Structure 1
Amino acid sequence: MSTFADLNLHERLVRALSEMDITEPTPVQASAIPEALTGHDLRVIARTGSGKTAAFLLPLLHGLLQHSRPRTDTRALILLPTRELAQQTLKQVEALARYTFIKAELVTGGEDFKVQAANMRRNPEILIGTPGRLIEHLEAGNLLLGDLEVLVLDESDRMLDMGFSDDVLRLAALCPAERQTLLFSATRGGNAMDRVVENVLREPKFLLLDTVRDLNESIQQQIITADDVAHKERLVQWLLAHETYDKAVIFTNTREQADRLGGVLRATSHKVFVLHGEKDQKERKLAMDRLKDGGVRVLVATDVAARGIHVEGLDLVINFDMPRSGDEYVHRIGRTGRVGGEGTAISLIAAHEWNLMASIQRYLRQQFDFRIVEELKGKFLGPKKLKSNGKAAGSKKKKIKKKTDAKKGGKKPLKKVSAKKSAGPRSSRPAAPDTQGGFATVKKRKNPGPID
């Protein structure tokens, strides 16, 4: 299938796509849309930036247009892990449904609860939200799912990693059994994912478009060794000054490090925004808006942004801290090189991160390019010796001195035996005769002689 018109989508959707200059579906869209239009439950695994959002939105909107039900409650629910991703999904719904009467509402944390409740009472066809806030509305009696026709779990692997498994299962259990469920993720997930698939999907079609090892070939992946945090900070400043990029995201593992790095960059005249979980909704929205409109070119973020942002022109990702897993690495660098674009991903590796980096390389079955910044060349340039798996070869443990001495002397060292152990069990020793009528015998001391 070469065009969206070949997918038999509603003419109003095709018109919207045409005005957006989108005519050819991506591989995930070409595979998932026909199956979704037939009503099948789907489990789709496709890499970040492959066009998954439109792959579930187009058949969802098509179904709502084909079967109009004006006097019903919400007909579709889309669950996502982060506020940023939910906001972007809402914008895509509004763009694709511009020639329809379909309404969608956002239900995420950080916004006025009463305003959200009032909007939900208008019975929008589509609700887009995060599990935590939806559960709050459910307990307040604001969330009605009796008429639901489609349930979408987007970035489901990330949602479960963030601890939303029970919330997702609870929300799904309240939906009608005959609904259609579409589950999309970038990785296979673990036991929590298997549990959700078993309990939420009905005889799903499984579409494996990509694995975590099928990274975008247009992303250049590099590593630069660093001595310590201060050295990493200098490297970041050098990269921002010398790399060619339009927009950049720098990832840290902690909020504290994100705030510190943001301060360091601002002190050197860089315009940056910092994004992490402790930022309120206004700050998070401002950061994303300024990055998208070009007001700032650099965003310092924790993994809260690894699956929550899609910014045109984002072509540089720097891992200030190495991510803790291969899947997280995939989602971080997936912010660049999206839908055919090119990008660069640079990871700064301290000595204690080398083995983690090697594990990620082994997991992805890829080799990152080793790079040296001559102007800031540090002392640590990688381990002196490597194992076959790429990890550092540790020094052998020193032998115990006694064993070494024993080998030299040809005799085995005598083992120390504690007094208690040598004495044996108390029951095996005969009791001393009582000659003092129950009083202890006073030990006689030798005369120490005259005092000097």
Structure 2
Amino acid sequence: MFTDIQLNERLQKALDAQGITAPTAVQQATIAPALSGRDLMISAVTGSGKTYAFLLPMLQRFIDTPSPKTATRALILAPTRELAEQVSKSCEQLAAFTQIKSLSIYGGEGFKEQAAKLRKNPEILVATPGRLIEHLERQTIDLSDLEVLVLDEADRMLDMGFSEDVLKIAAQCRPERQTLLFSATLNTGDIRSLTEQVMNNPESLLLSDARTQVEAITQQVILADDVKHKERLLNRLLSHEPYSRALIFTNTRVAADQLGNVLSYQKHRAAVLHGDMDQPKRRQVLKLFRENRIQILVATDVAARGLDVEGIDLVINFAMARSGDDYVHRIGRTGRAGESGTAISLISPSEWNLMCSIERYLRISLERRTLSGFEGSFKGPLKTKASGKAIGKKKRPEAKKQDDDKPKVKKRLRDQKAIGKRRKPQNTEPQTLDQGFAPLKKRKAPDAG
């Protein structure tokens, strides 16, 4: 129970209003050490309740020690706009009965409008690294009084190339701050390098990793010959598979747009979400998806982090994720909060090795599935011999052993080429001038006239 943690009554009232009565495992393990002020590295997968795990101790701290005349007191860095919006919304809900204000800033919105909101000096700031760097360079944000820095989905920020931006932002923060880092994994070299530069003797809490997330989700694989075959399989799944909302992933924005057009042509209620869309359009698409006015959302990995929509019970990887962690975050959009979910990956011949590497990373075996009447010619790679040698190569015959009493004769290439050719007879006797050459004829002298 949250009563065991002795939260402020205003925070407890906000939890009661949301119907939250008990903390999740990550909240139970994180809140107490976070209240002590220590730097923490928490390994927690998506959907585990980690947002409240850092918001609750942060708000509790600000309520106990108010500082109305200081600059920004807490900064939460998120890799995507969708995650920043989600965290900001959660912060507003949790601080609904307090005087603490929060603000989210990210690209896709007017810079001047954001600067005007920043002048109101919100205590908590939720931002993406790129837009925050712009505000720091124009000196519209002051982080000199910062008390808490949260790096949410730190592994994703590093994958997106925000490592240098995060270091620049951390350098602008007050050194005597508390830093909380949340990541799906803490074992990568990039994460260790980042923590060494921005954290002070952090405590590691290994609550869960990418491998534990996938156990509650039914995961299947359907083999496909090519993109056209995948489109037919997808249409069959969306027409006959039971689901309330479906989320389909591609690896590129162009592929997402093309697939969205295909689904619209097939009369599916579908929309597209990717990074090339402006923020109002992305917000409108998510609203339609949440209200079930569209049933299918085609997205790139921008939707894999921070997209929290209730009722997603089917995830389809039209293109396989590029890594095991990305795969986990994709399928983690379903099967949330104890609900069941299904994840189906359409695998072409070029994606077979990628699928196998993800299976090895997660230590699982994806269920193979076929759709009657839609089978393709690709059945997986040919089996190889136990020796590991490629099939189709003939085994070289062993050279015949020569008798010890027979001398070994060196074979020359020109002798091999001459086999079977008729040789010209050779005269071994020495030739004389008369034998070898015709006599020279005397030239007739020219006429005198």
The bucket for the TM-score relative to the shorter chain is: 0.7 to 0.9
Shift of 1:308: 2.7
Amino acid at match of 1:395: A
Q: Secondary structure at the match of 2:103?
A: strand
1:6 aligned to which of 4, 7, 32: 4
* Offset from partner CA, 1:406-447 (integer Å, 9 cap, x none): 96999998679xxxxxxxxxxxxxxxxxxxxxxxxxxxxxxx
Q: Distance in 2 between matches of 1:44 and 1:121?
A: 33
- Check the 8 A contact 1:90/1:105 in 2, yes or no: yes
Q: Secondary structure at the match of 2:365?
A: coil
Q: Distance in 2 between matches of 1:116 and 1:384?
A: 58
Equivalences for residues 364-443 of structure 1 within 5 A: 364-385=362-383, 395-396=390-391, 398=393
* Offset from partner CA, 1:26-45 (integer Å, 9 cap, x none): 10010001110111111000
Larger radius of gyration: 2
Residue in 2 that maps onto 1:127 = 125
Shift of 1:279: 1.2
Equivalences for residues 13-412 of structure 1 within 5 A: 13-188=11-186, 190-385=188-383, 395-396=390-391, 398=393
- Check the 8 A contact 2:40/2:202 in 1, yes or no: yes
Amino acid at match of 1:87: E
Shift of 1:346: 0.3
Q: Distance in 2 between matches of 1:216 and 1:10?
A: 35
Q: Distance in 1 between matches of 2:168 and 2:281?
A: 31
Shift of 1:190: 2.4
Distance 1:228 1:144, change over 3 A: same
* Offset from partner CA, 1:14-56 (integer Å, 9 cap, x none): 1100110001111001000111011111100011111111111
Q: Secondary structure at the match of 1:380?
A: coil
* Offset from partner CA, 1:160-208 (integer Å, 9 cap, x none): 1100001101111111111111100112262221111001111111100
Q: Distance in 2 between matches of 1:415 and 1:342?
A: 72
- Scaled by the length of structure 1, the TM-score of the pair is 0.86
Q: Distance in 2 between matches of 1:94 and 1:412?
A: 89
Q: Secondary structure at the match of 1:5?
A: helix
Q: Distance in 2 between matches of 1:30 and 1:413?
A: 81
* Offset from partner CA, 1:280-319 (integer Å, 9 cap, x none): 1122111111111111111101111111301111111100
* Offset from partner CA, 1:56-79 (integer Å, 9 cap, x none): 111111111111111111100000
Shift of 1:332: 0.8
Amino acid at match of 1:205: E
Q: Distance in 2 between matches of 1:394 and 1:138?
A: 59
- Scaled by the length of structure 2, the TM-score of the pair is 0.87
- Check the 8 A contact 1:157/1:189 in 2, yes or no: no
Q: Secondary structure at the match of 2:195?
A: helix
Amino acid at match of 2:211: R
Q: Distance in 1 between matches of 2:233 and 2:225?
A: 11
CA RMSD, aligned part only?
Answer: 2.1
Distance 1:409 1:125, change over 3 A: same
- Check the 8 A contact 2:246/2:315 in 1, yes or no: yes
Residue identity (%): 55
Unaligned residue ranges in structure 1 (runs of 5+): 417-452
Shift of 1:380: 1.2
Amino acid at match of 1:128: V
Shift of 1:10: 1.1
Shift of 1:236: 0.8
Distance 1:101 1:414, change over 3 A: farther
Q: Distance in 1 between matches of 2:401 and 2:267?
A: 69
Unaligned residue ranges in structure 2 (runs of 5+): 403-408, 415-449
Q: Secondary structure at the match of 1:263?
A: helix
Amino acid at match of 1:47: V
Residue in 2 that maps onto 1:445 = none
- Check the 8 A contact 1:51/1:339 in 2, yes or no: no
Q: Distance in 1 between matches of 2:276 and 2:172?
A: 31
Q: Secondary structure at the match of 1:273?
A: strand
Q: Distance in 2 between matches of 1:317 and 1:169?
A: 35
Point out the more displaced range, 250-259 or 80-89: 250-259
Distance 1:320 1:413, change over 3 A: farther
Q: Distance in 1 between matches of 2:72 and 2:335?
A: 35
Distance 1:63 1:248, change over 3 A: same
Q: Secondary structure at the match of 1:213?
A: helix
Shift of 1:259: 0.8
Shift of 1:217: 2.6
Q: Distance in 1 between matches of 2:92 and 2:412?
A: 82
Distance 1:372 1:134, change over 3 A: same
Q: Distance in 2 between matches of 1:105 and 1:132?
A: 16
Shift of 1:399: 6.8
Amino acid at match of 1:287: V
